Structure 1
Amino acid sequence: MEKKGLLAFFAVYLSLFPIAAFGSDGVIRIGVLNDQSSVFADSTGAGSVLAARMAAEEFGNKIGDMPIEVISADHQNKPDVGSNIARRWFDLEKVDVIVDLGNSAVALAVNEIAREKNKAIVVSAGGSTALTGKACSPNTIHWTYDTWSQSYAIGSALVKAGYPTWFFITADYTFGYNLRDETTAVVLKQGGKVLGSVRHPINSSDFSSFLLQAQSSGAKMVALANGGADTANAIKQAREFQLHKAGLGIVGLSTMITDIHALGLETTQGLFVTETFYWDLNDGTRAWSKKWGDRNNQRKPTMMQAGVYAGVLHYLKAVKALGKPDDGRQVVAKMKELKTDDPLFGQGYIRPNGRKIHDQYVFRVKSPDKSKSPWDYYELVSKTSGEESFLPLKDSGCALVH
């Protein structure tokens, strides 16, 4: 074969395969990409960056001769901004893994870029089940929760607890739709009914008309299929409208402990929430949360921030086992091979589609007189095992399963 023909052959051959990272710059570089200035900044933001750094510190900020660096950026809840940052990090700044990725639209966009660049991502705050379903990737781990797990745990528990009729107030983007649709399916399966649903734009300040529609529907449960400041605003206004005195229950399908803290127990008492982590669950969660809080104004972490710590910790264990971070698929495959074990989520494992498995909890927010100390906000309603909490693998629609 002539030289030109041989070069052409190899050009075509290489184009058939994703470009992998060749060689190493000798640094394990972790990028925390999340909302640091808007609706989800309190539940992820700088607290997630701190969590990633604490995981790196567990290894002495070094594995072998490779130092560990943690950098961060604000995606502003915009997929184009998040995508541009991810490409720059992967192409120019030699970032090996991107973590957190709150906002499902951003997470799904970066999911495809990581697949293309053969880098790893560990999603803690993005909730879309598509990440382990139709958009699943051999480069992606979905750690803390997803909309199916949130919906299943809370829907099952509350219909059984005497709330058979529901009304949804839904954020007008992918995350909100998933929460609404998947909770609806659970409610109907349990024999309940959905009496109505309304949508609102992200960063809404006025929920009065939506709450009045919910009250007039006759539903027993008002489900907030949104997150961050949107959830907080809706909860506050529901209290002002005294929906609780009309006998309506309120459930935050993605409510964080930071929302409860910001609003106070007087406003949030009786609210139902579902989480995979709570700082006061056991000795391990309490000890780590104290260390985190000592470096963050004595606050307590959200489940998303806890997920960043645990996910980065397991990522680094996989890198240590492999001896290098450069091939994202190899690292993710090793993460799936190794059993997970950390003080925040306990022992678990990762399914072939990238779904991390651990228990799910339903809590009810305490009244002020029952809270014994700062951040003592939850009483346990129910616990669902990891195997039951997440969408069955056979139903995921992920090509990696086969």
Structure 2
Amino acid sequence: MKRQLGTALLSGTALLLATMLPAAAQQGAKISNDVVRIGVITDLSGAFSDQSGRGSIAAAQMAVEDFGGKVLGKPVEVLTADHQNKVDVGSAIVREWIDAQNVDLIQDVANSGLALAVADIVRDKNRVAIFNGPSVTRLTGDKCTPNTIHYAYDAYALAKGTGAQTIKQGGDTWYFLTVDFAFGHGLEENTAKIVQENGGKVLGAVRFPLNNLDFASYVTQAQASGAKIVGLATTGMDARNAIKAASEFGLTQSGQQLAGLLLFDTDVHALGLEATQGMYLTTAFYWDRDDETRAFSRRFHERVKIMPNMGQAGVYSSTLAYLKAIEAAGTDEAGPVMEKLKSMRINDVFVKDGWVREDGRFMREMYLMQVKNPAESKYPWDYYTLRATIPAEEAFRPLSQSDCPLVRK
């Protein structure tokens, strides 16, 4: 009887201690201003609003809700703003968020020029930024910082995936339609290099101005090149207008194929399969990949009436990871949170066994997709056929080529 009573007392004490530990941990937690604030700065009104915008905001809000709305007993708030694709406007918003509203995390940043500016701001003010919208590889190169993570994708992975893998599919000659500013030049340069390294040939390129409406002459030049693959080194409305023109002029009907170097599900949805069929693209996420991605994507669709793309799914995943890192660190201070983020293995609807490399590059496998023809599509948003899975170490720029000052030489 005494032994039973002693065992019961020990069990009760253990249970009491177990229930007290979370409360004790929360009492010792350090959350600035008793609230964690996440600022989603995105494109709500411009050319990239479909691929980021309200979808990125919804993804961050879903992550906070799925986490329970609190971390270490403190509320989590999501602030939002439209950067209007202006670096000065976006930078001013981010500075005001940090200085006046004590924002802890800057999220999305769907503009490469602004992302480079934000990297400097969060480094100087010791906050965290997780980039899901921009493609610029300098974020993990010369502009890398201890306070930033480049999460969903980048220009190197898009070029490597589409360039190398399409050659394996037989597309060994290329011609580029390139938007004439740094973003397009970078996509073309990265892809051309990878095409040539893998035994392919670049037959030429033509450049067009941003927000171009008439692609007739550019498409006819691409047709005349005889290239098997016409690479679109652009995104947003320019990519859509180029694809429309290619369809109208019979480019794909004549046997050439388009490769979208930064193309999203929403672009295919807007244009339709008749215009986009056969195109190659590289992505980090496809809503219809498995039961888990379908369940998440249908929840997302209920809110914004579109299926999530890789950037938006990346916002969801990285927001969850950030909150888990705060919980593990016991604080929202940038240094300890980044340390936890760089030591975690991330498993969720967006990624399996992902991790943050020392240069801030989030590592995960990528997918080469080909757009279905109308007869192959069986239900709404059934757009892609998986052609290749690209391991993380192959998809992203190797550390040996990095000029990030954080990388050990």
TM-score by length of 2: 0.90
Matches within 5 A, 1:138-157: 138-157=146-165
Q: Is 200-209 or 33-42 further displaced after alignment?
A: 200-209
What's 1:160 paired with?
168
What's 1:323 paired with?
330
Query: How far did residue 218 of structure 1 move?
Result: 2.6
Matches within 5 A, 1:215-254: 215-254=223-262
What's 1:30 paired with?
38
What is the alpha-carbon distance in structure 1 between the residues aligned to residue 116 and residue 181 of structure 2? 13
Q: Does 1:364 align with 2:370?
A: yes
What's 2:407 paired with?
401
Matches within 5 A, 1:32-181: 32-181=40-189
- Code of the aligned partner of 2:148: T
- Code of the aligned partner of 2:358: P
Query: How far did residue 74 of structure 1 move?
Result: 0.8
What is the alpha-carbon distance in structure 1 between the residues aligned to residue 253 and residue 328 of structure 2? 57
Query: How far did residue 263 of structure 1 move?
Result: 0.5
Deviating beyond 4 angstroms after TM superposition, the runs of 4 or more aligned structure 1 residues are none
Query: How far did residue 305 of structure 1 move?
Result: 0.4
Query: How far did residue 23 of structure 1 move?
Result: 7.7
Query: Which residue of the other structure, out of 367, 388, 397, is the alignment partner of 1:391?
Result: 397
CA offset digits 1:181-238 (Å, max 9, x no partner): 1101110001111121222232222222221221222322110011111111111111
Query: Which residue of the other structure, out of 285, 292, 309, is the alignment partner of 1:302?
Result: 309
Q: Secondary structure at the match of 1:346?
A: coil
Asked if the contact 1:103/1:175 (under 8 Å) is kept, the reply is no
- Code of the aligned partner of 2:107: V
What is the alpha-carbon distance in structure 1 between the residues aligned to residue 197 and residue 263 of structure 2? 23
What is the alpha-carbon distance in structure 1 between the residues aligned to residue 215 and residue 144 of structure 2? 35
Q: Does 1:264 align with 2:272?
A: yes
What's 1:15 paired with?
none
Asked if the contact 1:220/1:249 (under 8 Å) is kept, the reply is yes
Query: How far did residue 75 of structure 1 move?
Result: 0.8
What is the alpha-carbon distance in structure 2 between the residues aligned to residue 353 and residue 95 of structure 1? 23
Considering only CA atoms, is the larger Rg found in Structure 1 or Structure 2?
A: 2
What is the alpha-carbon distance in structure 2 between the residues aligned to residue 197 and residue 399 of structure 1? 34
What's 1:8 paired with?
none
Q: Does 1:291 align with 2:273?
A: no
What is the alpha-carbon distance in structure 2 between the residues aligned to residue 311 and residue 143 of structure 1? 7
Asked if the contact 2:31/2:74 (under 8 Å) is kept, the reply is no
Query: How far did residue 28 of structure 1 move?
Result: 0.5
Q: Does 1:346 align with 2:338?
A: no
Q: Secondary structure at the match of 2:177?
A: strand
Asked if the contact 1:63/1:320 (under 8 Å) is kept, the reply is yes
What is the alpha-carbon distance in structure 1 between the residues aligned to residue 293 and residue 182 of structure 2? 31
What's 1:11 paired with?
none
What is the alpha-carbon distance in structure 2 between the residues aligned to residue 136 and residue 172 of structure 1? 25
TM-score by length of 1: 0.92
Q: Does 1:202 align with 2:210?
A: yes
Asked if the contact 1:164/1:220 (under 8 Å) is kept, the reply is yes
Q: What is the RMSD of the two structures over their aligned residues, measured on CA atoms?
A: 1.3
Asked if the contact 2:240/2:267 (under 8 Å) is kept, the reply is yes
- Code of the aligned partner of 2:391: S
Matches within 5 A, 1:267-278: 267-278=275-286
What's 1:213 paired with?
221
What is the alpha-carbon distance in structure 2 between the residues aligned to residue 196 and residue 386 of structure 1? 30
What is the alpha-carbon distance in structure 1 between the residues aligned to residue 208 and residue 35 of structure 2? 44
What is the alpha-carbon distance in structure 1 between the residues aligned to residue 238 and residue 309 of structure 2? 17
Query: How far did residue 245 of structure 1 move?
Result: 2.4
What is the alpha-carbon distance in structure 2 between the residues aligned to residue 260 and residue 251 of structure 1? 12
What's 2:13 paired with?
none
Q: Is 213-222 or 61-70 further displaced after alignment?
A: 213-222
Asked if the contact 1:138/1:333 (under 8 Å) is kept, the reply is no
What is the alpha-carbon distance in structure 2 between the residues aligned to residue 302 and residue 45 of structure 1? 12
Query: Which residue of the other structure, out of 296, 308, 312, is the alignment partner of 2:319?
Result: 312
What's 1:379 paired with?
385
CA offset digits 1:17-40 (Å, max 9, x no partner): xxxxx9821110001111111111
Query: How far did residue 81 of structure 1 move?
Result: 1.2
Asked if the contact 2:54/2:304 (under 8 Å) is kept, the reply is no
What's 1:332 paired with?
338
What is the alpha-carbon distance in structure 2 between the residues aligned to residue 26 and residue 234 of structure 1? 49
What is the alpha-carbon distance in structure 1 between the residues aligned to residue 101 and residue 396 of structure 2? 35
- Code of the aligned partner of 2:284: T
